[in-house]
Amino acid sequence: MGSEGDEKRIIKKPRFLCLHGFRTSAEILKKQVHKWPQSVINELDLVFLDAPFPCQGKSDVEGIFDPPYYEWFQFNKEFTEYTNFDECLQYIEDYMIKHGPFDGLLGFSQVGAILSAALPNLQDKGVALTKVPKVKFLIIIGGAKFRSPWVAEKAYSSPIRCPSLHFLGETDFLRQYGSELIESCVEPVVIHHPKGHTIPRLDDESLKTMMSFIEKIKKDI
C-alpha cells in the first residue's frame, strides 16, 4: 500500500507558467490554448500571466479578442534593442516567487515563446530567475530567438537542455526562426502543423505526440 507522499507524486501535474504573445493578454492565451482537447488540459496545471506593461500601440488581435492588451517589454523594429527588459525579467521572477513553484514555461509568439525559450539558459547564467527553482520543461508555440547580441550570447551559447515541445506552422511567418530555435535545443519534440502563426488544434498524430511528451515530463517532477 503506497504512502500519502507516493500518492501525491502520482497525481501531481506539471505546472507551467504561460506567457502570452505580443500585445495580447493572459485571458486571450487561455482561450487560445483551450482549443486543445480536455484530455490534454486535464494533464497540465496551467497558470496564465498578464505582461507587466499596458499595450503601447495597436494590437493585431483587435476585433478578434477583447482588450485589455499587454506587452512584456518594448523593442525596436529590428528586435535588437529592448526597453524595460530587466524589469520584465524581475516581474516574472517576482510572480514565480509569490505563486510558484513552477515546473516549466509555456510561451506563444513574440514575445511569450521567445522569452520562455531563452529563460532556462539566462537562469543558468545567473541573468534571470536566480531566486526560483530551475525551469525544467518548455512548450514553445510559434517561437524564435532574441536578436540582441548580448541576450543571444547568454541565451543560446549553450544548448537548451531541458525537455522541450515545439509547435511549428507550415505558413508561420516565424517558421525559419522557430527552426533555428529548435536547432539550439537538445532532443526537442516537434509538432508540425499546416497553419500559420497560431495555436493549432491537435489532430490525432499531434495529440499522440503531445500526450507522450506530457507523460515523459511527469516522470521528472
What rounded mean pLDDT belongs to the chain? 94
Instruction: Tell me how far apart the alpha carbons of residues 115 and 107 are, in angstroms, rounded to a whole number.
Output: 7
Q: Which three cell numbers stand for residue 198?
A: 497560431
H-type alpha helices, the chain: 4-11, 26-33, 38-41, 85-99, 109-124, 149-156, 175-183, 204-218
Q: How confident is the model at residue 216 (pLDDT cuts 50, 70, 90)?
A: very high
| Statement: 15-219 belongs to CATH 3.50.50.60 | no
- pLDDT tens per residue, range 146-183: 999 999 999 999 999 999 999 999 998 889 999 999 99
| Segments making up each domain of the chain, as ranges | 15-219
pLDDT at residue 1 is higher than 60 = no
What is the pTM (predicted TM-score) of this model?
Answer: 0.93
Cα dihedral sign, 94-99-103-106: negative
Q: How confident is the model at residue 10 (pLDDT cuts 50, 70, 90)?
A: low
pLDDT at residue 109 is higher than 70 = yes
- pLDDT tens per residue, range 22-58: 999 999 999 999 999 999 999 999 999 999 999 999 9
Cα 176–chain centre separation: 18
Residue 117's nearest CA partner among 68, 156, 84 is 156
